[in-house]
Amino acid sequence: MGMNDEDSGKTTTATEESARPEIVALAIVAVAIGLVTRFFTRSSLWLDEALTVNIANAPLGQIAEYLKHDGHPPLYYFFLHGWMELFGSGDVASRSLSGFFGVLTLPLIWIIARRKGGPTLGWIAVAVVAVSPFAVRYSNEARMYSLVMLLVVIGWLLIDDVIDRGKATISRFIAIAVVAALLLYTHYWSLWLLAALGLTGVWKVWRTPDRVVRRSWIGLVLALIAAGLVFLPWLPTMLYQAAHTGTPWAPATRPTTALAWTLADNGGGNYGERGLVAVLIAMALVLGVFGFAVDRRTTALDLRTRRQFRGAAWIAAFTFVIGTSISFVANNAFAGRYTAVIFPFLAVITAAGISCFASRWIRFGVVAAMCLLLSVGAVWNVFDNRTQLKEFGEEVATAAKAGDIVVFCPDQLGPAGVRVMPAGLTFISYPAYENGQFVDWVDYGDRNKASDPAAFARSVLSQAGSTHTVFVVWSDAYKTFEGKCSGLIDALSTVRAPQLLLAGNGDRYFEHASLLRFAPSS
């Protein structure tokens, strides 16, 4: 696609254009913001992060067994285990592995975007990813999603080599197989990405007349099959997880709703501009796939799509359709973070969309405005409190003495709660009467339904005796616990008078609950 050069008046192709200095300067500022926001946040770890850290802290040989009761593949947990051996398991240390993966992604994004649209697009894509609230959030969370993004970009570069750049060597096909296997061992939504790629490969093998191109696609399909064979040892665990864990924390999500959530998550957290940014991203994606600059004042749409972004758009859309459709049919919930497997495609296409203007300075203005809005979400992530439990820990520290009991109802409040509570207390989670550090998701709903709040309360009071205070961190808003935690509070209240220390604040915190104190009778 040609671009009009305002300074010289001549038209050059995007791949021949040198990087614009104003775009480079903007990207450098964006990268600086991205580096800071990837490693700093005032929030303590919330449930998913704390549970991940606790599992990764287990002896290496036991991690797979813990994951059998959790629902994820093991690669990120192995990496995090080794990382924490070196740097510790504090909030900053455990999150910094994701930040490290996020930083490694930036230069690779520059390479793939430069290949698709020249150096200016490369810098714009780096700026977009650097301040993307989605990329920042999952580079600043002790979860596997930044590793997923990194592996997808590596795989994209390798596939671009063998399919579009004529470098179909054995070593590259082996590398593709390795990266695909690593993705499978990192997150299960990689199945849908590789399925979309594999089915597309089979279609290309069938329909492509060019023998050289056909051989490249055959090699790609064989590499994906090899990755599947490498994944076979983990398959029994995955099938057990699928049968017994699922997503009991939320109902199934329709694909159209999942699309809206994906755009919203790319817009950022729960701040005022989130909806506007989501709409702008949607518009940028349309321009990235269909848009072209006619002249300095006109940008039009071509339904034939832009060739250099056609494949990325197709794989992203196909992956999303497969994943959300299967999740809906299987009655599984959807979370926007799952789309980490397609985020690199969306980010580069977004960058192409906001640069789809022939006028140099209009393009700069649009890119700067988008990056500014994205930066609001990135910075918001630094100041956002994901969990209320740190506030509870501080409150308990002022009122508890050694041997007092803290009950977490439901158990999903335990992993993050135990981390922020003072030492010397006894921690108990409902309904399993365990120490609160883990959540066993196996047959979760059935076990919760069968639990007895009154019997649990009697056990807690018996353990507390006549001298120890019982603190209860509780919420009745969790799916499969309807009425259980309020039943526990009622049972405790028949013996001891409750005192509300802190009320749940859902407007300020994503993970919120209430804190009650049951002091011994005087």
Q: Which two tokens stand for residue 311?
A: 């494949």
Asked if the model's pLDDT at residue 10 lies above 70, the reply is no
77 and 122 together in one domain: yes
CA distance 183 to 82: 19
pLDDT of residue 522: 66
Asked if the model's pLDDT at residue 326 lies above 80, the reply is yes
Q: What is the mean pLDDT of residues 448-474?
A: 96
- Band (pLDDT 50/70/90 cuts) for residue 298 is confident
Q: 452 and 433 in contact (C-beta within 8 Å)?
A: no
- Write out pLDDT tens, residues 217-271: 999 999 999 999 999 999 999 999 999 998 888 888 999 999 999 999 888 877 7
Q: What is the mean pLDDT of residues 385-394?
A: 95
133 and 206 together in one domain: yes
pLDDT of residue 334: 93
Asked if the model's pLDDT at residue 13 lies above 60, the reply is no
Element (H, E) at 16: none
369 and 417 together in one domain: no
| Residues 6 or more apart whose Cβ sits within 8 Å of residue 262 | 320, 336, 339
CA distance 128 to 308: 19
308 and 406 together in one domain: no
355 and 496 together in one domain: no
- Write out pLDDT tens, residues 502-513: 999 988 899 999
7 located within any domain:
no
Q: What is the mean pLDDT of residues 7-28?
A: 66
6 located within any domain:
no
pTM for this structure? 0.94
Q: How many helices (H) and strands (E) in the chain?
A: 22, 9
3 located within any domain:
no
Q: Which two tokens stand for residue 214?
A: 């056909």
187 and 301 together in one domain: yes
- Band (pLDDT 50/70/90 cuts) for residue 11 is very low
122 and 195 together in one domain: yes
Asked if the model's pLDDT at residue 1 lies above 60, the reply is no
Asked if the model's pLDDT at residue 477 lies above 50, the reply is yes
Which phi and psi (to 5°) does residue 293 adopt? -85, 120
325 and 395 together in one domain: no
What percent of the chain lies above the pLDDT cut of 70?
97
The strand pair at 470-474 and 514-518 is best described as: antiparallel
- Band (pLDDT 50/70/90 cuts) for residue 3 is very low
Looking at 322, 350, 383, the residue that finishes a domain is 383
The strand pair at 405-409 and 426-429 is best described as: parallel
432 located within any domain:
yes
2 located within any domain:
no
CA distance readout (Å), 31 to 100, 121, 136, 144, 251: 14, 15, 11, 22, 38
Domain of residue 182 covers 13-244+251-383
370 and 448 together in one domain: no
What percent of the chain lies above the pLDDT cut of 90?
87
1 located within any domain:
no
Q: 161 and 144 in contact (C-beta within 8 Å)?
A: no
174 and 296 together in one domain: yes
Three-state DSSP at 301 gives strand
pLDDT of residue 268: 81
Tell me whether the omega of the peptide bond preceding residue 410 falls within 30 degrees of 0, making it cis.
yes
The identity of residue 256, as a single letter, is T
Looking at 363, 383, 403, the residue that finishes a domain is 383
Q: What is the mean pLDDT of residues 69-84?
A: 97
Residues listed for the chain: 522
333 and 464 together in one domain: no
Arithmetic mean of pLDDT over the chain: 93
373 and 397 together in one domain: no
Distance of CA 105 to the CA centre of its chain: 15
pLDDT of residue 271: 73
5 located within any domain:
no
4 located within any domain:
no
Looking at 355, 383, 411, the residue that finishes a domain is 383
Number of domains in the chain: 2
Three-state DSSP at 425 gives coil
Q: What is the mean pLDDT of residues 406-432?
A: 97
Residue with tokens 């047959």: 443
